[in-house]
Structure 1
Amino acid sequence: MSTRRTPIPVHLRLQALTTLIAVLTSGCLGHYYEVQRTELERLVREPPQTRGQNVYAVQQFTTDSEPEPAGPWYPPQEGPPPPGYSMGLHGYWLPDFYIDFGTPYYDPPVYTRPSVHDASPVSGNVGGVSGGSPSGGGSSGGSGNIGNVGDAIVVIIAVGVVVGIALAATEGARYEGSVAVHPQHPVHLWHRRGGQSTVRLDELTPEHLRDVERATLSGREGAGMWLRGAAPLNRQGFSYQFGAGDDRLVLPGGQNPRSLGFRFALGYYPVKQFGLLTDTRLQTGDFNGGAFYNVRLGLEAQWYPINVWRLHLGPFVGGGQSWSASEGGGLPTTSGARPYVSFGALAEFEIATRLGLTFRWTQDWLPTATPDTRDFISSWSVGLAVY
């Protein structure tokens, strides 16, 4: 019986292509930066004149909801800068210590001296805006069935890799960390009931935050924005991980087909060092004239207690269910499902605040396997973790 695989069905190829296009066109990084409520609460406790020099913010996508634009912003008064201020780019006054920050990452709008027909210089609120509401295989199948399952696995792998690369590209470029803005920079406040309002940073008070969920800063308003340094790797929150490497399937008779295996995981880190993920590993290929596949699906706990510069080290442990089959050529005819237990070591190199390069060494054990297939199975993979 031939083990040659049938071509991947056209509808599966179209589904993979549709997913690719949807991911790659889902949005671009914009000039809006989100500030969480906890950071706003910290800022209102700072002296008004120094609030803008260190604000923790996260860059947003252009597809995210954007606030109403702030009104025109002008220097506080005409004439020479007051004590403690210097003339900045495009005629804006800046606190003296901002000179050390260099040129803003986002150029501010060009300042034009107002005439009698223009709006008067802003004092107090920048421009209050009230917005609207915003199955297990228990029987032996033919080699054609194994080939069809293998083709489906290939499609799943392709979609998973495309999604992972797209997420890694956006999160790798996305800025999260400290920004600096003028003390009078407009702050867009998002209220719990859907409204919006705008207030100057130096006039922000606890009363403004009573029903506020978050805030947004625009790099293209006020006197521009400085990016002062990205934050260290932050795993807290949801995570998507994917990778590829050497994997192995243990078969009766001492045969150990090795091939390229892929791993995908989705989960949540309640704290930066510890996370729980749903984990799957996919392997398919030809060996000794036959065909085989091996699929594992389970839960995994990851822990990173050791940090050395940008390198993070730790163990993981997990378990779940595995499905595998083999047939044809010199391979034994097998098909079945059984539980597995896995553990191993993790090494992650920090690339960006929400992106890490990972290396995994894994040991698998099938506790209910036959005596000649119950040995530990070792594998390794290299991949990316997006947080």
Structure 2
Amino acid sequence: MSTRRPPLPVHLRLQALTTLVAVLTSGCLGHHYEISRTELERIAHEPPEARGQNVYAVQQFTTDTEPEPAGPWYPPQEGPPPPGYSMGLHGYWVPDYYLHFGAPYYDPPVYTRSAVHDASPVSGGVSGGGSTGSGASSSSSSGSGNIGNVGEAIVVVIAVGVVVGIALAATEGARYEGSVAVHPQHPVHLWHRYGGQSTVRLDELTPEHLRDVERATLSGREGAGMWLRGAAPLNRAGFSYQFGAGEDRLALPGGLDPRSLGFRFALGYYPLKRFGLLADTRLQTGEVSGGGYYNVRLGLEAQWYPITLWRLHLGPFVGGGQSWSASQGGALPTTSGQRPYVSFGALAEFEIATRLGLTFRWNQDWLPTASADTRQFISSWSVGLAVY
């Protein structure tokens, strides 16, 4: 009697994997916005009264380490506003140009006039660290079973890849990256190289404050609130995860080329906003003419977007790698093997958000070492999302 345990049903494996991936990739967007070291240096050389007008910042997740909160901040209320300032919607003195921004996206904290004389100024001192298969056989039925087992594995991989993609697209699509405005006296949280933190007013920031600072954050719920002035255009620089689905084909002997739904997943890096290198995989499995088949491609790909028309970006791609495929049963020929492939085609990407694009791909694949009756170009297309 066989002591082998029966495999876990496919639907249970899918449920467990998708639940795990959803938990690992989930996160809520918070009210802290990160400023890069380069942006800090630019701000430190601007006139103090204009420093909060245009700050490039990236919204952080609530799971990120948050800075120690700044002390209460109360603007002066004695007498009329000084030249160049006006009384804001929430009782704060703000530069005149802020009145064109309207109400802030984040309301400022509530304060009373009586507390002004008891308020403690924003500290500039450094504090401590932040908060917390079965084997193959020669029989036809066994071969069909092996193709079915591979097909099940492909379905699981596709499900996990799609869940990861949707989770990343949902968070990055809603994440704000672009220009924000704050009061010139807004507290800035500085993150130092060896784990310390300090807080300084924006209009008091000097190059000396930045000697060992790696980055900084602003809280929309401190100071006089925060205005979101407009998201930045599509920015591909950095890591990218891409996924999509469309029509794919497999070339088989006898001139057969079964078509079915195929999926594509890619992970890579864009050293430039218009050029990137990615590890790319395409997965296809299906049944036709009473038989089953699968096709898996794994390779490298270079993408280039030289043309921009408003929010539409156009360009070519080229890549190549290894292909694994098999077919069995019914009217399909019995095949199994691997061979290299070369892929090239056209890309069109529509900008949805600063780190999210809707993509369309048209592919041409060439299988240079295939047999004479399968050595042909195979066309395919797909629609998907690219998360940067």
Task: Compute the TM-score of the two structures, normalised by the length of structure 2.
Answer: 0.93
CA RMSD of aligned residues (A): 2.0
Partner of residue 366, structure 2: 365
Task: Give yes or no for contact 2:77–2:113 (8 Å, CA) kept in 1.
Answer: no
What pairs with 1:24-173 in structure 2 (closer than 5 Å)? 26-115=26-115, 119-120=118-119, 122=121, 125-126=122-123, 128-132=125-129, 142-173=143-174
Are 2:185 and 1:184 aligned? yes
Q: CA deviation at 1:22?
A: 1.2
Three-state SS of the structure 2 residue aligned to 1:114 is helix
Partner of residue 216, structure 1: 217
Q: Which amino acid aligns with 1:204?
A: L
Cα deviation, 1:231-252, whole Å, max 9, x if unaligned, reads 0000000000000000000100
Q: CA deviation at 1:19?
A: 2.5
Cα deviation, 1:306-349, whole Å, max 9, x if unaligned, reads 00110000000000000000000000000001100000000000
Partner of residue 200, structure 1: 201
CA distance in 1 between partners of 2:58 and 2:371 (Å)? 52
Cα deviation, 1:355-386, whole Å, max 9, x if unaligned, reads 00000000001111001101000000000000
Q: CA deviation at 1:216?
A: 0.2
Task: Give yes or no for contact 1:138–1:336 (8 Å, CA) kept in 2.
Answer: no
Partner of residue 3, structure 1: none
Q: Which amino acid aligns with 1:31?
A: H
Task: Give yes or no for contact 2:14–2:159 (8 Å, CA) kept in 1.
Answer: no
Cα deviation, 1:130-153, whole Å, max 9, x if unaligned, reads 02277xx99976100100100110
CA distance in 2 between partners of 1:206 and 1:114 (Å)? 35
CA distance in 1 between partners of 2:137 and 2:168 (Å)? 39
Cα deviation, 1:175-217, whole Å, max 9, x if unaligned, reads 0000000000000000000000000000000000000000000
Specify every segment of 5 or more residues in structure 2 that has no aligned partner in the other structure, as ranges. Answer: 1-6
CA distance in 2 between partners of 1:139 and 1:112 (Å)? 82
Alpha-carbon distance change, 344 to 57 in structure 1, aligned in 2, over 3 angstroms: same
Q: Which amino acid aligns with 2:255?
A: G
Q: Which amino acid aligns with 2:73?
A: W
Q: CA deviation at 1:45?
A: 1.0
Q: CA deviation at 1:14?
A: 4.3
CA distance in 2 between partners of 1:115 and 1:294 (Å)? 70
Task: Give yes or no for contact 1:189–1:212 (8 Å, CA) kept in 2.
Answer: yes
Task: Give yes or no for contact 1:182–1:222 (8 Å, CA) kept in 2.
Answer: yes
Aligned length: 377
Partner of residue 287, structure 1: 288
Task: Compute the TM-score of the two structures, normalised by the length of structure 1.
Answer: 0.93
What pairs with 1:332-343 in structure 2 (closer than 5 Å)? 332-343=333-344
Q: CA deviation at 1:224?
A: 0.3
Partner of residue 4, structure 2: none
CA distance in 2 between partners of 1:219 and 1:133 (Å)? 18
CA distance in 2 between partners of 1:249 and 1:138 (Å)? 22
Q: CA deviation at 1:77?
A: 4.7
Cα deviation, 1:159-180, whole Å, max 9, x if unaligned, reads 1001101100111100000000
Q: CA deviation at 1:229?
A: 0.4
Alpha-carbon distance change, 88 to 133 in structure 1, aligned in 2, over 3 angstroms: closer
Three-state SS of the structure 1 residue aligned to 2:370 is coil
Three-state SS of the structure 1 residue aligned to 2:118 is coil
Alpha-carbon distance change, 115 to 9 in structure 1, aligned in 2, over 3 angstroms: closer
Specify every segment of 5 or more residues in structure 1 that has no aligned partner in the other structure, as ranges. Answer: 1-5
Are 2:349 and 1:348 aligned? yes
Q: Which amino acid aligns with 2:217?
A: T
Q: Which amino acid aligns with 1:241?
A: Q
Task: Give yes or no for contact 2:73–2:119 (8 Å, CA) kept in 1.
Answer: no
Q: CA deviation at 1:8?
A: 4.3
Three-state SS of the structure 2 residue aligned to 1:159 is helix
Q: CA deviation at 1:18?
A: 3.0
Partner of residue 314, structure 1: 315
Cα deviation, 1:274-306, whole Å, max 9, x if unaligned, reads 000000000000011100000000000000000
